Structure 1
Amino acid sequence: MSFLSFLKHLLAFFAPAPALALALVLLGQLLLRTHARQRGWLAPLALLTVLGCAVLLAGLWLLGSDGRMATYAALVLVLASAHWLQLRAWR
């Protein structure tokens, strides 16, 4: 496998994490304006991206292959919960 092919596979593996993180942060900015605007968007985006990459790696390690629906379900659950906690949306 060439380096460019490896890089393409690596980026494709991690792509769902920043995509979902960006969607959550943008939706948080639109729907929860008072909480989200006080916190900004760069720090939550970075935190959710790192957390999402960790979930994807844990799913690969636990399940033995990437692209399993359980991993993607865990990704959505963990990132949505982390964003909800970060915004303190229960208040």
Structure 2
Amino acid sequence: MSYWQLLVHLFNFVLPALVMAVCMPWAGRWVMGVRGPDTGRRMAVHAVSGVLVLAAGLWLQGQDGKMCTYIALVLVAATAEWVMHRGWARK
């Protein structure tokens, strides 16, 4: 595998986490309101947690791209957004 192919493969591995990191702050703003940390910080939290979920899925299952890993990615992103918006304190 060449360096270019390795770079493309790694980019495609983290791409779902990066897309979720961009979309979740805006979805959270739409659902939970404008409270919470700024958008850049929320994107960074989602990107890091998403890559960690994908890496854990690869490590536990031995291959990437399984649907249960993507389900875990969505659940972790939604939970992180809820925590950053302090959803438990909503009235």
Question: What TM-score do you get using the length of structure 1 for normalisation?
Answer: 0.90
> Aligned partner of 1:60: which letter?
L
Which one of the candidate residues 60, 65, 86 is aligned to 1:67? 65
**Shift, 1:33, TM fit:** 3.0
Residues in 1 aligned to 2:14 and 2:84: alpha-carbon distance in whole angstroms: 22
User: Which residue matches 2:76?
Assistant: 78
Residues in 1 aligned to 2:59 and 2:35: alpha-carbon distance in whole angstroms: 35
> Aligned partner of 2:19: which letter?
A
Residues 14 and 53, structure 1, Cα contact 8 Å, conserved in 2: yes
Q: Deviations over 1:10-58 (max 9, x none)?
A: 000000001012111112233333314xx21001100110000000000
- Counting matched residue pairs gives 89
Q: Which runs of 5+ in 2 are unaligned?
A: none
Once superposed, which parts of structure 1, at least 4 consecutive aligned residues long, lie more than 6 Å away? none
User: Which residue matches 1:41?
Assistant: 39
Question: What TM-score do you get using the length of structure 2 for normalisation?
Answer: 0.90
Residue 23 of structure 1 aligns to a residue in which SS? Answer: helix
Residue identity over aligned pairs, in percent, reads: 42
User: Which residue matches 1:21?
Assistant: 21
Q: Which runs of 5+ in 1 are unaligned?
A: none
Residues 35 and 89, structure 1, Cα contact 8 Å, conserved in 2: no
Residues in 2 aligned to 1:76 and 1:50: alpha-carbon distance in whole angstroms: 13
